[in-house]
Structure 1
Amino acid sequence: MRLLMMLMLVSASAWSAEPAVTQKSATIVSAPSQSKLLEAGQVSGQLLQLVLGLLLVIGLIFLLAWVVRRIQQNIPVSGSQQAISLLASQTLGPRDRLLLVQVGKEQILLGLTPGTIVPLHVLQEPIEVSKPEGHLGSAFAQRLAKALKTSAKDEPE
């Protein structure tokens, strides 16, 4: 009987000790899995930040390209002292334009597409093209030309 009591006591202590070991081992096992989850969360957050930054930079490049294209279309080109001058430009589509070109005393209307330049009409009477008033680009161009002329006069020859 004593032997039976001792076996029961030993087995009861073994059963009670086993969950504590299991809890410790579960804690040990769960700690690396939590750190792996935290690392995976950090990596995915960094990846998301990288992708968003890349999209922002690409969007900025497209925005600047659009702004440069708009500015180039609005820059006045008349007033040049060359034999061939561009008097006016009218955008028809994303890549198509009409151009009014003066060659000597003749004015020619040209159609400009990405692959071709087609003369559409030779004008019998020249058209007077006036500069738009209050145009920021032309005011800047006038100030720049004036500054360049004064700096050229100041330099000794």
Structure 2
Amino acid sequence: MPLVLAETASTAVSARPAYQEPFSAAAITQLLLGLGLVLGMILLLGWLVKRFSGLAPMNRQMRVLAVLPLSSREKAVLVEVGKQQLLLGVAPGRVNLLTQFDEPVITQAEPVTPAFAAKLAEVMQRRTPHD
């Protein structure tokens, strides 16, 4: 009987996996291949989403020049497309062309500062630091 116990004990010891060095060439290769696979899948998914969802890259030939809220849900939007300016009526679920301008109405989109922001900037400039 002791012979059988010794035999099973030696088989149990040899069944354990051998210790692997964490920074071996095989481990680093496996890490790099896994990383490459994940990055490849991210790029593939990005390409598929762009290709099949209708998302297009931003075009510099088209930009919003001005927005005028008409109510809580409707607004008038002045859009420049190439050399042409269009006034659009935007409401939930629809966009209508209101008019098309032959000559530009606004030449450059200028940032509009609200009255409070302008007043705050003026006060901050007048303020002197305390010594």
TM-score scaled to structure 1, two decimals? 0.32
In terms of Rg, which structure is larger?
1
TM-score scaled to structure 2, two decimals? 0.38
